[in-house]
Amino acid sequence: MSVLKPFRGLRPARELVSKVAVLPYDVLSSDEARQKASGNPISFFHVTKPEIDLDPGINLYSDIVYETGKNNFLRLIKEGVFVQDKEEYLYIYRQKMGAHAQTGILGCASVDDYSKDIIKKHELTRKDKEDDRTRHVREMDANAGPVFLTYRAEREIDAVVDEFVRKNSPEYDFTAEDGIEHVLWVIRDKSVIRSLSGLFAEKVPVLYVADGHHRAASAARVGMEKRQKTPDYSGHEEFNFFLAVYFPHDQLKILDYNRVVKDLNGLTPDVFMAEIGKKFRLENLPAGREPFRPDQPHTFGMFLEGSWHKLTAIEGNWKNDDPVESLDVSILLTNLLDPILGIRDPRTDKRIDFIGGIRGTGELVKVVNEGHFKVAFAMYPTTLEELMRIANAGKLMPPKSTWFEPKLRSGLVIHLLT
């Protein structure tokens, strides 16, 4: 069964939180972070993306980058921007994006749960990105951003969370510049903390990494490193745990994760379309129509030469009983991207890029019309059931299969490892 541990959170003062909290480090570029943090010395980007305070041409993995992040973190603590709670608490974190709301429990997950696969993964991590976050955690001696976990919803857990929210006022309640509302409650009542931790230990056999595989892997790595340096560790030290938000699966929203490709692999548009027709039914959509968004599995939108086309995968070209091969992202890869466009490994091929559904299919039209890419593919979103089925089978999804929204903010609550 799974661990949900309270901890002494390091948090911004209430009147500062909206200026401190930021998007995760990996969803925007250094230039975008530099722009967002401009004129704001307490933006947490100074900690999670410290290169914004250095020469724009600097190697992102230079020693000075990590040293700058650590120094910025210590500065924010010294200036009183962050203050640590005096006792171990759990926190409730609610996000609202338009009509959609999701409410999770912020606490600490177990490094042992991660290593024993009680916390299940569905993506490979890239060594360079994992090494980067590992060093960041090591230098800060803290988890700066939470891992996004999910679990099969449990009625008793929902009831405890709902009752607490109904009876208590939030500590934070602010709307970020992107329109997402963030609300945080602090659970100081020890009986409620014991109840929630006990319910996870009793009712939740496994957890799933929804988003933040590199954050989870790096946190677990640092925990193991600290164990090796502390042979008599008890298992209760903070480095045995890492920061996470636990969401019930039935509240989450996965958006499409779309593909754009720079060229047609030497093919003319006519030959390209003819090759596609061997594995997909093609429907040419009227010129000038709104961007096409697939509304059912195994259908795809393709924008090429100023026009949208609907592609429907022809049965028999994938294994329905294989949870990975039957994913839309896999069907597109094995029937089009690889055999026709020559993209064998989307993880490393520089000719392909990915655009999260939060930007809308209009973004696909924009980047193709501007000449940055030759063709774009609009995807039907992967479902949470597919994610859990693959993780339960011990298999991995192709890269960029899921895009969760809204994104968790970093800098709301930080977990110190000592």
Is pLDDT above 80 for 288? no
**Which DSSP symbol is given to 379?**
-
Is pLDDT above 90 for 400? no
Residue 170: phi and psi, rounded to 5, are: -75, 155
* Percentage, residues of the chain above pLDDT 90: 90
CA angle 97, 209, 318 (to 5 degrees): 95
Digit-coded pLDDT (tens) for 59-94: 999 999 999 999 999 999 999 999 999 999 999 999
Is 6 in a helix, a strand, or coil?
coil
Q: How many CB atoms lie within 10 A of CB 338?
A: 15
Digit-coded pLDDT (tens) for 86-117: 999 999 999 999 999 999 999 999 999 999 99
Is pLDDT above 90 for 287? no
Task: Determine the Cα–Cα distance for residues 141 and 244; give it in Å rounded to an integer.
Answer: 16
Average pLDDT over residues 334-358: 93
Residue of 6 and 123 predicted with greater confidence? 6
Residue of 372 and 398 predicted with greater confidence? 372
In sequence order, the 6+-apart residues with CB closer than 8 A to the CB of 108 are: 3, 4, 5, 6, 7, 238, 241, 242, 243, 244, 415
Task: Determine the Cα–Cα distance for residues 405 and 356; give it in Å rounded to an integer.
Answer: 9
- With cut-offs at 50, 70 and 90, classify the pLDDT of residue 291: confident
- With cut-offs at 50, 70 and 90, classify the pLDDT of residue 126: confident
Given a contact cutoff of 8 angstroms between Cβ atoms, the answer to whether 252 and 102 are in contact is: yes
Domains and their CATH numbers in the chain = 10-253+405-416 (no CATH), 257-380 (3.30.1760)
Digit-coded pLDDT (tens) for 158-183: 999 999 999 999 999 999 999 999 99
pTM of the model: 0.91
Cα 164 to Cα 88, 143, 160, 330, distances in angstroms: 17, 26, 6, 42
Distance of CA 181 to the CA centre of its chain: 18
Which residue type, as a one-letter code, is found at position 415?
H
pLDDT in the model for residue 236: 95
| Mean residue pLDDT across the chain | 95
Average pLDDT over residues 298-312: 96
